[in-house]
Chain A
Amino acid sequence: MPYQAEISRTNPSCFLFLIDQSGSMEDPFAGGETSRRKADLLADAINRLLQNLVIKCAKEEGIRDYFYVGVIGYGEKVGPALSGQLAGRDLAPISDIGNLPARIEERKKKVEDGAGGLVEQTIRFPIWFDPVCHGATPMAQALTLAHDILARWISQHPDSFPPIVINISDGEATDGDPSTAADALRSLATSDGNVLLFNVHLSAKGAKPIEFPARPDALPDEHARRMFELSSPLTPAMRTIAQQEGFVVEEGCRGFVFNADMVSVIKFLDIGTRPSNLR
């Protein structure tokens, strides 16, 4: 059975995020009630996600390197997109991510006081990734770069839980059909299964959100259907988590969300990055 490998410090796994930084990401987000730019919302989501991944691996003595993590941006250029001391690195162990944010901001958060009320707490909010939106959408190039990075990583970690790639885009590749590059990426494999490629499609249209579809029929346009075709099916363990989160999922459903609001996007990222076999 694939996708059963234990994730441990001696056998870590890997997450690679591909982030659309094209000019069209400047547009307001169509899937939610907010008028904020897609790029801003996405940067927020990625920073939160990196925080959650670090926290998941944190123990009292420090951060355990259960994962390697990379963020690749594609827009005016294609390449590593983290800021600060991690700039230029395509993959970093999660302890480096946790210890080397570009900066730490302070944010206020309301928490329950245990007596039925709320109190405001100041929490530290690390930032690794700033919004960028400029240029075209060279998605095929980004997928090819992901392939090269992961082929190298897999040769060093041949028995790991397979790397998970999460591509977030407004879906309109400008450097040709990304299918060939995506096929090559998904055909990379460890002894525990193929690389998983999941897609989040932030459409410019205010169309109805569709989460984890098993068929492309309900998707409104050719770009969405192509993004669906690029996506790997969810593993059985992920399908269970998605169900627990309240999504309706069928056999064969894909790691793909179309036009979901940011809450769903963050849930999607959480499902894609919540391994059940962390040791």
Chain B
Amino acid sequence: MALSIRVQWLPKAGNRDDEYEDAFWPDHAVTTTQPMVRCAIADGATESAFAGLWARQLVAAYAASATAEATDWLATLEQVQARWQAQVTARPLPWYAEAKVRSGAFAALLGVTIAHNAGASGRSWRASAVGDCALFHVRNDRLLTGFPATTAAFFTSRPLLIPSAPNQLTTLVDHVQQAEGDLQPGDALYLTTDALGHWFLQQAEQGATPWRAIETALAGRRRGFRRWIAGLRSQGQLRNDDVTLLRIGWTEQ
């Protein structure tokens, strides 16, 4: 048995690919039998500048933490913040970019670590999240878990996000949410940023099976995914936002 990780992403309609401000890890499709796998997605806030950079740094920091603890990435946050600051101020900035840097960048992060169960044959997942990225666990054509969002209404409030400036939020640890579950053969975990997460739960609340639509879209690769998202946006079902979808499946090799 192996873990298979697939990812698709798109910028907002009307934006260029280089203006996409979500991030994901791993940054390419992977099939692996490694005993521990760490995946993450992040969503840089549009209002801030250098938010895409901040999101990319956060997912990389999550992935680089080496334990099975879901929140171990918090220990390296200060270093990541310093790296962001150093990188954005490396060259002289116009007055408005300087003002943006002063207020810092913000991002939502959701990371999940999948590891062998100690002494058992199965695997387990542990997730931690700040903000409104989402994880959905689907088994036997049924939604088992939504985390941290359990209802579509979750996405209508302004979430707390991870700041790039250390003095913005000293109590971040109090806002980290955690969840865990076991992973069985045939299960799938979907990690999404907020627009797609909102759509997913709206569909589920109406009795639909959004994971089937996702599977069809993923089978169509990049072009199929693009067409599917464009369709949802034009029907008004999906807010025009950056979209990221990371699918983790446990399947026969």
Residues of A within 8 A of B (CB): 6, 8-10, 51, 54-56, 58-60, 63, 98-99, 101, 104, 111-114, 121, 123-124, 126, 278-279
Q: Which residues of A contact B19 (CB under 8 A)?
A: 59
B24 to A: closest C-beta gap in Å: 20
Give the number of residue pairs across the A-B interface with Cβ within 8 Å.
Answer: 51
User: Given A6-B240, A9-B14, A113-B167: A124 and B95 within 8 A (CB)?
Assistant: yes
- Evaluate contact between A59 and B14: CB separation under 8 angstroms: no
Alpha-carbon gap, A265 to B200, bound state (A): 41
Q: Which residues of A contact B240 (CB under 8 A)?
A: 6, 279
- Evaluate contact between B46 and A123: CB separation under 8 angstroms: no
In this complex, how many residues of chain B approach chain A with their Cβ under 8 Å: the count is 23
Q: Which residues of B contact A56 (CB under 8 A)?
A: 47
Q: Is B155 an interface residue (CB 8 A)?
A: no
B185 to A: closest C-beta gap in Å: 41
Tell me which of B50, B88, B95, B100 contacts A126 (CB under 8 A): B95
- Evaluate contact between B167 and A112: CB separation under 8 angstroms: yes
Tell me which of A6, A10, A63 contacts B96 (CB under 8 A): A63
A58 nearest CB neighbor, chain B only: B96
- Evaluate contact between A278 and B94: CB separation under 8 angstroms: no
In chain B, positions 204-253 with a C-beta closer than 8 Å to chain A are: 240
Interface 0/1 of B162-191, CB less than 8 Å to A? 000111001000000000000000000000
B159 to A: closest C-beta gap in Å: 15
Q: Which residues of A contact B165 (CB under 8 A)?
A: 114
Tell me which of A51, A113, A123 contacts B102 (CB under 8 A): A123
A92 to B: closest C-beta gap in Å: 15
Residues of B within 8 A of A (CB): 12, 14-15, 19, 46-47, 49-50, 53, 88, 94-100, 102, 165-167, 170, 240
Alpha-carbon gap, A74 to B47, bound state (A): 34
Tell me which of A10, A111, A114, A278 contacts B46 (CB under 8 A): A278
Alpha-carbon gap, A124 to B49, bound state (A): 18
Alpha-carbon gap, A54 to B46, bound state (A): 14
Q: Which residues of A contact B99 (CB under 8 A)?
A: 51, 55, 58, 123
- Evaluate contact between A114 and B96: CB separation under 8 angstroms: no
Q: Which residues of B contact A60 (CB under 8 A)?
A: 49-50, 53, 88, 97, 100
Q: Which residues of A contact B94 (CB under 8 A)?
A: 98-99
- Evaluate contact between A114 and B166: CB separation under 8 angstroms: yes
A179 to B: closest C-beta gap in Å: 38
Tell me which of B14, B46, B96 contacts A55 (CB under 8 A): B96
Alpha-carbon gap, A2 to B165, bound state (A): 38
B47 to A: closest C-beta gap in Å: 7
Tell me which of B53, B97, B166, B167 contacts A58 (CB under 8 A): B97
